[in-house]
Chains A and B, each alone.
Chain A
Amino acid sequence: MTSIIELDRIEKRYGHTTVLKGVSLEVAEGEIVAVIGPSGAGKSSLLRVVNQLERHQAGVLRIAGVEVEPDGGSAVHALLRRQVGMVFQSFNLWPHMSALHNVMEGPRTVLRLPRAQAQERADALLERVGLGAHRNKYPSQLSGGQQQRVAIARALAMQPRVMLFDEATSALDPALVKDVLDVMTALAADRMTMLVVTHEMRFAREVADRIVFMAAGEILEDAPPRTFFSNPRHPLAQQFVASISPHS
């Protein structure tokens, strides 16, 4: 299988703080990779380097086999981002647009699709995330879980080759988490390539093909969920697994 995402010894610093210390990771087409670990491990930074919302200082990033230079310019980064969908922890829906227009915006403005075609695509996606009835509502009229599902539809509207989820359920009321996870699980079932930073261990265990465990800017473990959760090797991973699953 071909790698969609390829990180080779990526380093990322903010001032004197190094948040990614030479991270290497490959994600193959159709693979679902969950990135877990304690806060401050560099999980979000890793995700944000993949679509160049953060630029790396060293190492090589390849998306679908093409190297992406951190100083490649906005045109290059815009083209990269068309292939890489991102879902944020805080939804980040545009408050001045209805759910439908949030989803149509990418197809209209970036892909320059005709209005009818963009709307058709947006409607189908809103239907798919279970929000067809809410298409004309503004973000402020939707619950957090509904907003996040619109945000997923917005990312999917670009027909990306890979989806990044940056703690997509962390800001949600516990009762609303399930609806979002259901959408993510359905996406995984369709074999959408996904790189998922999450604190939802059940989702990681049941849906992901691989668990990537990060701490202090490094990937310490990369294993199938069963192996990782039953037999973590690195001491920090053992500690982490013990702290999150006292019952299992």
Chain B
Amino acid sequence: MDFQIIVTYLPFLLKAAGMTVVLSVLSLAFGMAIGLGLTFLRMSPNRFLSRLAWTYVWLVRGTPMLMQVFAIYYWLPTIGILMPPFLAAIVALSINASAYYVDIFRAAILTVPSGLVEAGQAIGMRPWQVTWRIVLPLAVRPALPPSIGQAINAVKNTSLVSVISVQELTATSQAIYSSTYKIAEILGTASLIYLTITTVLALLQTWLEKRLGYYTVR
């Protein structure tokens, strides 16, 4: 083990990790927002809208993320949609995450007992009021563990946009080991940095689960 090489290159790796965090945070924010919108379509009584959302989920989940990144960065320009690598990365990561969030949110919403929905309707709430005041707040807790799981996947998925030269942790690591040949040191350090980021998410889950324990018996 060459620890000197790690010390030398650690600042570069940490800077790249910053890019990984930025990619993760933005794609998760967009992915969850798009995912929630698609969840409403997926659960809509309108069969066309529901099938549209189903098809999106089927297509995005059913194809490799790497292909999606290539499609957005190399193929979309052929039909006139040109994006710089960073933007293409955000778009690809957000689309990918959103497809997974649809079923996470849908499953969580389905756990809300219909009696609680009816109680809202019975006092004269409109459908959107029932959704925002009752269904979504109650779906947060069941959605939390799989949402964090998917967020952890999303962090690791950012490594795939290294192929379109976004200088995140994996791309930077590759650049360093291809000139130094210290593969174990550099990729080992990068892995530890990924593990640190995902650990934050895991701890966030534990903390939120405790905070959201309001409707378990105390």
Chain B, residues 94-137, CB within 8 Å of chain A (1/0): the string is 00000000000000000001011011111111110100011001
8 Å CB contacts to B: which residues of A101-137?
105-106, 109-110
Interface centre among B121, B124, B125, by most A CB within 10 Å? B124
Which one of B116, B121, B216 lies within 8 Å of A53 (CB-CB)?
A: B121
Question: Does A74 contact B217, Cβ atoms closer than 8 Å?
Answer: no
Q: Of B123, B137, B214, which contacts A82 at CB under 8 A?
A: B123
The stretch of A60-68, A90-98, A172-180 in contact with B is: A90-98
- Apart from A110-B125, A138-B215, what 9 extra A-B contacts exist at CB < 8 Å? A53-B121, A78-B124, A80-B124, A85-B122, A86-B119, A96-B138, A96-B215, A140-B217, A141-B218
Partner of A110, one of B119, B123, B134: B123
* B214 cross-chain contacts in A, Cβ below 8 A: 95-96, 138
Docked pose: A222 CA to B99 CA in angstroms? 57
9 chain-A/chain-B pairs, Cβ below 8 angstroms: A51-B122, A74-B127, A79-B124, A86-B122, A105-B123, A140-B217, A140-B218, A155-B122, A158-B123
Q: Give complex CA distance A206, B113 in Å.
A: 35
Q: What's the least CB distance linking B134 to chain A, in Å?
A: 6
Closest Cβ of chain A: how far from B76's Cβ, in Å? Answer: 40
From B120, B127, B215, B218, contact of A95 by CB (8 A): B215
Which residues of A sit under 8 angstroms from B124, Cβ to Cβ?
78-82, 106, 110, 158
Interface centre among A82, A88, A92 (most CB of B within 10 A): A92
Specify which of B115, B125, B126, B217 is in contact with A90 (CB 8 Å cutoff).
Answer: B115
Chain B residue nearest in CB terms to A80 = B124
Interface residue count for A (Cβ, 8 Å)?
Answer: 33
Interface size for chain B: under 10, 10 to 19, 20 to 34, or 35 or more residues?
20 to 34
B37–chain A nearest beta-carbon distance, Å: 20
- How many whole Å from B55's CB to the nearest CB in chain A? 28
Residues of A within 8 A of B125 (CB): 78, 106, 109-110
Chain A residues 166-209 with CB under 8 Å of chain B are none
Measured between beta carbons, the chain B residues less than 8 angstroms from A109 are 125, 129, 133
B45 to chain A, nearest CB (A): 12
Contact mask A131-172 → B, CB, 8 Å, 1/0?
000000011110000000001001101100000000000000
Whole-angstrom distance between the alpha carbons of A157 and B122 in the complex?
12
In the complex, what distance in Å separates the CA atom of A93 from the CA atom of B123? Answer: 12
Query: Residue A75 at the B interface, CB < 8 A?
Result: yes
A140-B122 in contact given A94-B116, A95-B138 (Cβ < 8 Å) = no
Among the listed A74, A105, A138, which residue makes an inter-chain contact with B126, where contact means beta carbons less than 8 Å apart? A74
Contact call A53/B138, Cβ cutoff below 8 A = no
B218 and A106: CB pair below 8 A?
no
Nearest CB in chain A to that of B140: its residue = A96
Q: Across the interface, which residues of A come within 8 angstroms of B129, CB to CB?
A: 109-110
Decide: A81 and B122 in contact? CB cutoff 8 A: yes
Closest 9 CB pairs of A and B: A95-B215, A82-B124, A92-B119, A106-B123, A92-B115, A86-B122, A81-B124, A110-B124, A78-B124
Of B118, B127, B137, B217, the contact of A92 (CB 8 Å cutoff)? B118
A88 with B218, Cβ < 8 A, contacts A74-B127, A81-B124, A105-B133 known: no
Residues from chain A with Cβ under 8 Å of B137 in the complex: 96
B114 to chain A, nearest CB (A): 9
Contact: B123 with A154, CB < 8 Å? yes
Given contacts A82-B123, A110-B125, contact A88 B115 (CB under 8 A): yes
**Complex Cα spacing A92 to B130, Å:** 13
What residues of chain A lie closer than 8 Å to B113, measured between beta carbons?
92
